[in-house]
């Protein structure tokens, strides 16, 4: 099931690494975050290379719904309560800067960039909306209370956040990746210090950025307990109204909406990877009920790394490592978080002061309620008898009947029916 983006772009091709090389910065991972890091370093005049195990954007980026917004659900009320005013403002300013950078870059790129108002709605809790508006006001941002939306159901209220955006992510990638120092089909098998071992050559670097969606190094940073993965589903419908905006339910298992040309994307059916969820059937039932004249043109699914506190991990890989950086845990907001990652990490590597580094620090406290849930899931599935086990850390795999895949409920690795790896953190296929 290819996404609309995959079917409507001309892929740029890059060669495989076939010799030993040296560089200042190695970027591992060729999704949106990795390519933006390469772009920033390229234009800062810093020697770098990017190594991608397969082809650029062959992982999660191709399946995004491509919303570019600083309004990540009802995030700011939560950030004020959990982190305080200064860090909440850091998060807001970093994401608004990311949006401005996209706006600047997209001026010269044919990538269907459009500015839209973003709406976060609640089906049944007006108080949540009012608290978010109050939080935005405290942070000096503008939000508007909206009572009615052009969606086929009533809401208790919504936060309207103007001047956000949407685009075609792969057309954007196709443009900015031209001329970058990228190697495809170059999986990094091992790191020895800051030297990467690949199948056909070594890459000796001064600094390394790990932008592989879920970090693949287990011995540093405790990402195996700090992250879990979440699947969600999309259908693209024709013969439906233009809703003229970006719409997201504040509930994690709610629905999202946005138009692309004559199509309406309806997203939802969410569940933790390896668990049961509504999948595409929930979306198709919704469409049949509310848009009976609609026709489904595309369908696809995506996967997101979720952190303990709803804020990405961007910065030094761990407190005990040097010259090693990470960008992960984008919590369903991969477009703005990728740009934040590139801007922040490019500054870090140049030794520049980074005002937002504190809020995104991967070494911040892990004492959050989600930690207990992650630990419980890992313990249960490590002890579950099964002949199919994930090569990452040995959890029992679960069969996903919707997508015909083997999924790991601990950390989100996924495999085809025949055992070929689809999604990391596993780095290899299932053993026969």
Would residue 113 count as lying in a domain? no
User: Does a structural domain hold residue 119?
Assistant: no
At CA 114, angle to CA 306 and CA 134, rounded to 5? 55
Residue 428 confidence (pLDDT) above 90:
no
394 plus 353 within the same structural domain: no
| Of 306, 323, 338, the domain-final residue | 306
**Of 85, 41, 82, 4, residue with least CA distance to 205:** 41
User: Sorting pLDDT into bands at 50, 70 and 90, what band is 162?
Assistant: very high
Same domain for 235 and 286, yes or no, is: yes
Check whether residue 292 and residue 318 sit in a common domain. Answer: no
pLDDT, tens digit, 9 for 90 and up, residues 307-317: 999 999 999 99
Over residues 43-99, the pLDDT tens digits come to 999 999 999 999 999 999 999 999 999 999 999 999 999 999 999 999 999 999 999
CATH number at residue 33: 3.50.50.60
Specify whether the CB–CB gap between 430 and 424 falls below 8 A. no
Q: Which of 22-31, 194-203, 311-320, 422-431 has the lowest mean pLDDT?
A: 422-431
Does this model's pTM top 0.85? My answer is: yes
Residues 6+ apart with CB under 8 A from 157: 121, 122, 126, 129, 130, 145, 146, 147
Considering the domain boundaries, does residue 70 fall inside one? no
Residue 166 confidence class, pLDDT cut points 50, 70, 90: very high
* Residue 432's pLDDT band (cuts 50, 70, 90): low
What CATH number did the domain enclosing 389 receive?
2.102.10.10
- How many domains, in total, are found in the chain? 3
Domain carrying residue 381: 369-423
My answer on whether 412 and 389 are in the same domain is: yes
**Where among 285, 306, 327 does a domain terminate?**
306
In a domain, 383, yes or no: yes
Q: What is the pLDDT of residues 115-142, one digit of tens each?
A: 999 999 999 999 999 999 999 999 999 8
| Within a domain: 208 | yes
Per-residue tokens: 248: 């997201």
Which of 322, 339, 360 terminates a domain? The answer is 360
159-192: b (≥16 Cβ within 10 Å) or e: bbbeebbbbbbbbbbbebbeebbbbbbbbbeebe
Q: Is residue 21, in this structure, part of any structural domain at all? A: yes
Shared domain for 296 and 403, answered yes or no, is: no
Q: For residue 250, is it within any domain? A: yes
Rounded (10°) CA dihedral 391, 393, 394, 399: -70
* pLDDT band at residue 218 under the 50/70/90 scheme: confident
Residue 199 lies in a domain: yes
């Amino acid at each position: 099931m290819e996404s609309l983006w995959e079917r409507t772009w001309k892929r740029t091709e890059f060669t495989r690494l076939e010799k030993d090389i040296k560089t200042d910065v190695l970027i591992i991972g060729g999704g949106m975050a990795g390519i933006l890091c390469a772009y920033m370093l390229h234009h800062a005049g810093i020697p770098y290379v990017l190594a991608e195990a397969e082809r650029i954007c062959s992982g999660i980026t191709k399946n995004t719904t491509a919303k570019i917004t600083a309004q990540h659900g009802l995030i700011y009320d939560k950030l004020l309560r959990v982190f305080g005013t200064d860090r909440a403002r850091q998060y807001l300013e970093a994401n608004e800067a990311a949006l401005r950078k996209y706006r600047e870059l997209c001026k010269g790129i044919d990538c269907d960039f459009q500015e839209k108002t973003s709406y976060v709605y609640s089906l049944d809790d007006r108080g949540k909306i009012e608290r978010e508006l109050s939080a935005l006001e405290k942070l000096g941002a503008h939000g508007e209370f909206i009572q009615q939306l052009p969606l086929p159901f009533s809401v208790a209220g919504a936060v309207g956040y103007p001047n956000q955006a949407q685009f075609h992510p792969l057309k954007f990638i196709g443009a900015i990746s031209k001329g970058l120092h990228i190697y495809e089909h170059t999986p990094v098998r091992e790191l020895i210090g800051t030297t990467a071992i690949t199948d056909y050559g070594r890459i000796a670097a001064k600094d390394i950025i790990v932008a592989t969606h879920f970090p693949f190094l287990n011995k540093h940073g405790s990402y195996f307990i700090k992250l879990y993965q979440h699947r969600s589903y999309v259908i693209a419908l024709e013969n439906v109204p233009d809703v003229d905006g970006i719409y997201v339910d504040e509930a994690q298992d709610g629905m999202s909406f946005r138009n692309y040309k004559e199509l309406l994307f309806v997203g939802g059916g969410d569940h933790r990877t390896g668990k049961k969820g509504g999948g595409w059937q929930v979306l198709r039932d919704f469409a049949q009920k509310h848009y009976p004249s609609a026709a489904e043109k595309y369908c696809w699914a995506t996967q997101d790394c979720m952190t303990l506190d709803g804020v990405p991990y961007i910065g030094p890989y761990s407190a005990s490592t040097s010259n090693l950086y990470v960008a992960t845990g984008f919590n369903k907001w991969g477009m703005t978080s990728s740009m934040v990652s590139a801007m922040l990490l490019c500054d870090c590597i140049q030794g520049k002061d980074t005002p937002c580094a504190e809020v995104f620090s991967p070494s911040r406290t892990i004492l959050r309620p989600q930690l207990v849930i992650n630990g419980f899931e890992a313990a249960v599935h490590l002890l579950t008898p099964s002949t199919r086990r994930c090569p990452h850390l040995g959890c029992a795999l679960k069969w996903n009947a919707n997508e015909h895949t083997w999924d790991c409920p601990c950390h989100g690795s996924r495999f085809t029916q025949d055992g070929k790896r689809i999604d990391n953190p596993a780095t290899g296929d299932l053993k026969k």
